[in-house]
Amino acid sequence: MDINWEEIHQHAIAAMKKAYAPYSNFPVGVAALVNDGRIVEGCNVENASYGVGLCAECGLVSNLATSGGGKLIAIVCVGGDSNFLAPCGRCRQLLFEHGGPEALLMTPEGPQKMSAMLPWAFGPEDLK
């Protein structure tokens, strides 16, 4: 499948602009191409009880499920400056679950496989 990274990046920026991040003032947006061609998005949603805030990737995987499921093919995560942002460890686990080792994550060094972003990952295969 052709990957239009610029289009995914623009979706990530649009999602970042919807972030609810009044405590950290650190908006995050993420967008991903799904294997059926649609693009799903997520933004961080914080909470007065700081520890229960949701990362942008949580919203993305929820939107993936509610909009029909499927597999993540290509992912872009951005911070408030619109530049590529490294997903936190927990979020790499979320992305790995729904993209698998071959899913691509955009980095300042170009697209990287999830297997490189989360080496020796624990995943669905381990439960078989």
Check: CB of residue 73 under 8 Å from CB of residue 103: yes
Binding test (CB under 6 A) with ligand THU, winner from 24, 47, 83, 112: 24
Least separation in angstroms between residue 2's CB and ligand THU is 26
Concerning whether 57 is annotated as a catalytic residue, the answer is yes
**Buried b vs exposed e over 13-34: b needs ≥16 C-beta within 10 Å?**
bebbeebebeeeeebbbbbbbb
* Size of the residue set binding ligand THU (CB under 6 A): 13
Q: Which stretch binds ligand THU (CB under 6 A): 24-32, 67-75, 96-104, 106-114?
A: 24-32
* Neighbour count for residue 49 (Cβ, 10 Å): 7
Q: Among 6, 57, 97, 125, which one carries the catalytic annotation?
A: 57
Binding test (CB under 6 A) with ligand THU, winner from 5, 18, 53, 97: 53
Q: Tell me which residue has tokens 């995050």.
A: 28
Catalytic residues: 57
